[in-house]
Structure 1
Amino acid sequence: MSIETAGGVPLKGIDVIPPKQTDDINQGALARMAYAFTQWAEKWFPDAFVFVIFAVIVVAIANFATGASPVAVAKGFGNGFWTIIPFTMQMAMVLITGYVLATSPFCTKLIDSLARVPKSSAGAVAWVAFVTMMASYLNYALSLVLGGLLCRALARRTDVRVDYRAAGAAAYLGIGATWALGLSSSAAMLQANPASLPKAISDITGIIPLSETIFLWNSIAMALVIMVMSVAIAYYSAPKGKHARTAEEMGCDVSAPSEVAERPTRPGEWPEFTPILPILVGILAAGWLVTEFMAKSPLQVIGNLNTYNFVLLMIGMLLHKNIHSFLKAVTKSVPTTAGVLLQFPFYGSVAIMLTSVPGSDGVTLAHHIADLFVSIANGETFPIVIGVYSAILGFFVPSGGGKWIIEAPYVMQAAKDLGVHMGWAVSTYNAAEALPNLINPFWMLPLLGVLGLKARDIVGFCVTQLVFHIPVVLFLLWILAPRAS
């Protein structure tokens, strides 16, 4: 095609690519890959609730294949349904407390400031990935809430057209890439805490300090490589131009919290609007927190999800300055918890069916899977073999601490027998456990509640990350593996 001058005379030798074709070329290979995966996911990926029902049925069939009786499978399903209710409520409170804190005037301005940092649509997606992965080193729950609210703040910008789906997927990278390599690692925290470590595990491993797990130089190097790779993928896979879909186009309300200050209309409402009550409660909360730090190690206090929720709730109340504003924020946050409250109990059933229902030989399905992987490992291949095992089982049982208690005895015994560095065995398990999170809606639910999206909206971008994460993570587990002394 040739350009014509104002007089209609063509300028030969100067080719112009049609606008549509130019837009497609500007996407780049990763962006086109993510776009293709997203189109597939939007058409074929089921709702998150259907996904967990599929998991229940697959595990039940696998139980029958090992010779488990129908009665035992049915009991496992029913008995497991309520087993993670405490964790379910913790995650619901993560959403509530995070929303309450983030909608306070102070935090709203802070998140809006973070949202003003990137200058391009792809840069915005990469920025979300960086912020959430950094947050996940401290606390995975913080990464979910902060990432979701940062996406909403970016979506409110009118000068940059940010793909809301890609940004949402980037906000999930704290859980899908790095969470278990930081202070949120349940397995590492458990192994380092003699008061919580079951005897069945301590007899095999002894106490493994954090300096031998998440603070081992090998683990730090692996975390840095994964983080740099993830940010780069987020940047280059972000859709541009006509392929980018904004929050408004997705039908999502990302409006900022109202800053209109309400006042009491009658004397009986005065207690709701005075700042005195939140301050008094805050003083009590500060006193309790001091006693926690005096009685426990700082890492143990920080890593406790109950403490995290408690502190966020108290700070949120103080930043809202009065009970009325605080309760209004809580009320608005409750709908975001629906997916967690409904679906997490089914995952509890899946976990029990995997780990507690015996087959005809008296051995559970999880133990059969572990035996298979451990039997084919040696000192050199152990990190890769256990990494694949952890990723597969993590797809059905997405739970850090509870799953580790069940699996650690035979995983760590195998590591000990094969002369594998015990701390690296824990890091291997952690790094691989994050992989299935990229496509498992379990951990997506809290984030999706904040974003107002469906799992199918972001999973295409997550699959793009997974395509690179699997070979790179497994290679790092092998190449960085230290030898036991």
Structure 2
Amino acid sequence: MTTSVQAPNGGTQDNAIARLAQRFTVWTERFLPDAFGFVLVGTCIVFVFGLATGEALTRTPENVATATSGFGLVDAWGKGFWALITFTMQMTMIIVGGYAVAMSPPVARLIARLAQIPKTARGAIVFTAAVAMISGYLNWAFSLIFTAVLAREIARLIRGVDYRAIGAMAFLGLGTVWAQGLSGSAALQMASPASTPEALKKIIASARGGTGVIPLSDTIFLWQGMASTAIIFLVGLAMAWLLAPSPERAKTAEDLGITLKPLLAESEEAKIRSTRPGDWLEHSPLFAILLALLGFWYIVRHFANATGSPLNALDFNTINLMLLMLALVLHWRPLSMVTAVRSGCTAASGVLLQYPFYGGIFGMIAFTGLSKTIAGWLVSASSTLLFPPIIALYSCVLGIFVPSGGSKWLIEAPYVIDAANQLHVNQGWMVVVYDLGEASANLLQPFWMLPTLAILGLRARDVMGYTFAMFLACFPVVLVLVTGFAQTLPFP
């Protein structure tokens, strides 16, 4: 594959896609606000849009404490502001726990070895993209942290790597395949009776009977769904190869004023000799191992007692507990883990500030009639053929303002599944459609980028030129896939 040509000055001239990505990046670096600016602008856009569509400015239903609809925009914003507080804490702990695992000596040595695999700047960017998507398919939370640390180490070792491009590729799992993977929120919710609201179960059962759930075999494990995931994976790799700038035009971490410390040196920082008897507990692995055994004992029982598939037990709290217990074992000495967690807390600062404001946006869409209004427009314009691509587009647009896979699906699912029943479109396929559209939105807004950006020391505007170029390649493919494969599936 030809990716560059000889320039008149003896250097190389990047291909058209690489030049386009660089132009996008120049524009985003000049004109895009930082990540917090996105949520501020997004709040204003949703507020004004709500007023334009006839939503009340202020209104409260009679049963304010339990109501989930009927609020005015101001009241819905306030109700939603803290609606994601549990999720915010869960995300914070994923960052902290994942960072602690990555900084442990054994994992740091593994990452350091992996970082030596690519030998060229372009190969480094493609390799990072592949690791991001593979790990994102397995577990999106692990992917965010692991690939960010890997990208940082690769950039330190290989000269001429564009730090912005490799940072964007470190996030690629969340922008492509994560929702179709083993930790995809929507599919896991639909497969679990306990996670599916009763009203939604009735809508599902009205067409397929049974318990009102959609098993994983009808969503992420459909051959059409797995084929779509594989195609998006290949498109992502090809784009990573094409958009990588030549070393002559790359901006390295040093060019951006970022100092990259050796990963193994960071993981060894907590090895301080004990100077007093009271320090024994901080350096002894005894109680850390005992506590980790207790934690893993509970985790085994938790999966064994899961209803249906053991995957139904894999929720945020379980992932966080596994990360913390694994970190205890891998660090061996409590002092080493405490040092890693302290560094991880810095990486979580963006989440703590911004997620409540995203909760306010969520409230204005979920607790008013705004979501149903938009959905009504879409369904009225749909047909059996056009319904999947229209919902993919809608999920992508809504995902820019409500970037929470599980919570957003619960907003969309009732009317999406109901409309699918009316139009005789396969119910499970509509979960796949949602997954692919929702993941694509992550390439356009910085909500899920925050942990990756914090670890790399980058800003949203540094990487979003590259993620936007990736979106322009992947999303049209998504629309074609969801439309074509829908015709191969029976109703419901």
TM-score, normalization: structure 2? 0.91
Confirm or deny that 1:459 pairs with 2:464: yes
Residue number in structure 2 paired with 1:32? 19
Task: Encode CA deviations 1:51-88: one digit per residue, 9 max, x unaligned.
Answer: 10001011111121122332222212222111101111
Residue number in structure 2 paired with 1:291? 301
Task: Encode CA deviations 1:446-475: one digit per residue, 9 max, x unaligned.
Answer: 111111100000000001101111211101
For the aligned residues, what is the CA RMSD? 1.3
Shift of 1:318: 1.3
Structure 1 letter corresponding to 2:168: A
Residue number in structure 2 paired with 1:266? 276
Structure 1 letter corresponding to 2:81: F
Task: Encode CA deviations 1:281-300: one digit per residue, 9 max, x unaligned.
Answer: 11101110111121013212
Contact 1:119–1:160 (CA<8 Å) still a contact in 2? no
Confirm or deny that 1:61 pairs with 2:72: no
Matches within 5 A, 1:288-367: 288-296=298-306, 297-301=309-313, 303-357=314-368, 364-367=369-372
Contact 2:96–2:345 (CA<8 Å) still a contact in 1? yes
Matches within 5 A, 1:8-47: 17-19=7-9, 22-23=11-12, 25=13, 27-47=14-34
Residue number in structure 2 paired with 1:3? none
Confirm or deny that 1:478 pairs with 2:483: yes
**In the aligned structure 2, how far is the partner of 1:37 from the partner of 1:199?**
45
**In the aligned structure 2, how far is the partner of 1:69 from the partner of 1:203?**
30
Residue number in structure 2 paired with 1:74? 74
Q: Secondary structure at the match of 2:442?
A: helix
Look at both structures and tell me which one has the larger radius of gyration over its CA atoms.
Answer: 1
Q: Select the residue among 400, 406, 420 that pairs with 2:405.
A: 400
**In the aligned structure 2, how far is the partner of 1:17 from the partner of 1:446?**
38
**In the aligned structure 2, how far is the partner of 1:333 from the partner of 1:483?**
45
Task: Encode CA deviations 1:352-409: one digit per residue, 9 max, x unaligned.
Answer: 101112xxxxxx1111111111111111111111111111111111111112122211
**In the aligned structure 2, how far is the partner of 1:226 from the partner of 1:314?**
34
**In the aligned structure 2, how far is the partner of 1:89 from the partner of 1:420?**
37
Contact 1:91–1:446 (CA<8 Å) still a contact in 2? no
Q: Secondary structure at the match of 1:413?
A: helix
Contact 1:282–1:314 (CA<8 Å) still a contact in 2? yes
Task: Encode CA deviations 1:183-205: one digit per residue, 9 max, x unaligned.
Answer: 22211111111222111111111
Structure 2 letter corresponding to 1:247: A
Residue number in structure 1 paired with 2:113? 113
Q: Secondary structure at the match of 1:95?
A: helix
Provide structure 1 residue ranges, at least 5 long, that are not aligned to the other structure.
1-15, 358-363
Matches within 5 A, 1:365-384: 365-384=370-389
Residue number in structure 2 paired with 1:361? none
Residue number in structure 1 paired with 2:391? 386
Structure 1 letter corresponding to 2:187: A
Q: Select the residue among 265, 285, 298 that pairs with 1:275.
A: 285
User: Relative to structure 2, which stretch is displaced further, 338-347 or 291-300?
Assistant: 291-300
Contact 2:144–2:452 (CA<8 Å) still a contact in 1? yes
Residue number in structure 2 paired with 1:13? none
Q: Secondary structure at the match of 1:442?
A: coil
Contact 1:398–1:442 (CA<8 Å) still a contact in 2? yes
**In the aligned structure 2, how far is the partner of 1:441 from the partner of 1:329?**
25
Structure 2 letter corresponding to 1:32: R
Q: Structure 1 residues 168, 264: CA separation in 2 closer, same or farther (over 3 Å shift)?
A: same
Residue number in structure 2 paired with 1:11? none
Contact 1:277–1:322 (CA<8 Å) still a contact in 2? no
Confirm or deny that 1:138 pairs with 2:138: yes
Provide structure 2 residue ranges, at least 5 long, that are not aligned to the other structure.
1-5, 59-71, 205-211
Contact 2:203–2:414 (CA<8 Å) still a contact in 1? yes
Contact 2:168–2:464 (CA<8 Å) still a contact in 1? yes
TM-score, normalization: structure 1? 0.92
Shift of 1:418: 0.8
**In the aligned structure 1, how far is the partner of 2:478 from the partner of 2:57?**
39
Confirm or deny that 1:217 pairs with 2:223: yes
Confirm or deny that 1:252 pairs with 2:258: yes
| Regions of 4+ moved over 4 Å | none
Contact 2:98–2:142 (CA<8 Å) still a contact in 1? yes
Q: Secondary structure at the match of 1:251?
A: coil
**In the aligned structure 2, how far is the partner of 1:17 from the partner of 1:464?**
24
**In the aligned structure 1, how far is the partner of 2:190 from the partner of 2:417?**
11
Task: Encode CA deviations 1:153-184: one digit per residue, 9 max, x unaligned.
Answer: 10220x44211110111111111111111122
Q: Secondary structure at the match of 1:380?
A: coil
Structure 2 letter corresponding to 1:227: F
**In the aligned structure 1, how far is the partner of 2:98 from the partner of 2:162?**
23
**In the aligned structure 2, how far is the partner of 1:181 from the partner of 1:311?**
22
Shift of 1:17: 5.0
Task: Encode CA deviations 1:226-250: one digit per residue, 9 max, x unaligned.
Answer: 0000011011111112211111222
Shift of 1:258: 5.0
**In the aligned structure 2, how far is the partner of 1:436 from the partner of 1:411?**
18
**In the aligned structure 1, how far is the partner of 2:390 from the partner of 2:130?**
29
Residue number in structure 2 paired with 1:201? 200
User: Relative to structure 2, which stretch is displaced further, 67-76 or 160-169?
Assistant: 67-76
Q: Structure 1 residues 130, 258: CA separation in 2 closer, same or farther (over 3 Å shift)?
A: closer
**In the aligned structure 1, how far is the partner of 2:132 from the partner of 2:175?**
11
Residue number in structure 2 paired with 1:360? none
**In the aligned structure 2, how far is the partner of 1:234 from the partner of 1:47?**
24
Contact 1:85–1:345 (CA<8 Å) still a contact in 2? yes
Confirm or deny that 1:236 pairs with 2:245: no
**In the aligned structure 2, how far is the partner of 1:187 from the partner of 1:288?**
26
Structure 2 letter corresponding to 1:406: I
**In the aligned structure 1, how far is the partner of 2:331 from the partner of 2:220?**
36
Confirm or deny that 1:428 pairs with 2:433: yes
Residue number in structure 2 paired with 1:170? 169
Shift of 1:210: 0.5
Shift of 1:95: 1.1
**In the aligned structure 1, how far is the partner of 2:240 from the partner of 2:91?**
26
Structure 1 letter corresponding to 2:278: G
**In the aligned structure 2, how far is the partner of 1:17 from the partner of 1:66?**
53
Contact 1:181–1:223 (CA<8 Å) still a contact in 2? yes
Structure 1 letter corresponding to 2:120: S
**In the aligned structure 1, how far is the partner of 2:255 from the partner of 2:162?**
10
**In the aligned structure 2, how far is the partner of 1:433 from the partner of 1:103?**
31
Residue number in structure 2 paired with 1:192? 191
Contact 2:371–2:411 (CA<8 Å) still a contact in 1? no
**In the aligned structure 2, how far is the partner of 1:36 from the partner of 1:169?**
15
**In the aligned structure 2, how far is the partner of 1:330 from the partner of 1:483?**
47
Aligned residues between the structures: 459
